[in-house]
Amino acid sequence: MPSTTTANAPASGSSSVAARTMPAPATTVTAGPSSLAASPAPTAASRWGWFGVITLVTVGIDQWTKVLAVRHLPVEPWSYFNDTCRLQLAYNTGAFLGMAGTWSESARFWLLTVLNGIFLVGLAGVLVWPWRMPLGRFIAGAGILAGGIGNMIDRVTNDGKVTDFMNLGLVSVRTGIFNVADMAITGGALLLAWYWMREEQTAANQSANPV
């Protein structure tokens, strides 16, 4: 009789064990703006926590530095780092960087105190309302709110004037005189703008490459 050879098939049990014991590929998580944008919406408890921390820290530092500026800074600027940074005391009756400063007192009151106060209350409601908002966008909004509160305290307690004391620039190109609250507002606005551009780019990519 002709001899027959039979190939030995691998045992299914050993292959399944090997599959189960294969190590999973390592994943690397990179921190940064993209990971912040992809982070889930904060829970109700963490929402209040972020809201409280950002507001208290920003308003606290803003008011503390303003007190120091009033007590120690002259009207004439102190120059540092080859005139890149200047510290000088100034009172702003207008909006950001002095805008609307030449308006009448009544117009400034209605715009910068009443309407601005309504805007801040509305923004606070949006932030604490339990709806899904990415963490990075929530932090940006909280920064804008905290900066607005810091300057609003000045307007209410200092006859409509906001205390400013910092100025940055190179050669003849300089910013206006600003404060910590202005920095929080600007930082929050820039972060929101980055979110908007990122969402626009994502929408454009999805339109160009439909599933």
Phi/psi for 142 (5° steps) reads -65, -35
Q: Measured between alpha carbons, how far apart are the two ends of the chain, in Å?
A: 61
Supply 70's token pair: 């009033």
The residue type of 50 is: W
Q: State yes or no: is 182 an active-site residue.
A: yes
Q: Whole-angstrom Cα distance, residue 109 to residue 93? A: 10
Sign (positive or negative) of CA dihedral 24, 26, 29, 34: negative
Q: Which of 83, 154, 159, 182 is catalytic?
A: 182
The angle subtended at Cα 12 by Cα 10 and Cα 13, nearest 5°, is 115
Q: Which of 62, 83, 154, 164 is catalytic?
A: 164
Q: Are the CB atoms for 54 and 138 separated by under 8 Å?
A: no
Q: State yes or no: is 164 an active-site residue.
A: yes
Q: Which residues are catalytic?
A: 164, 182
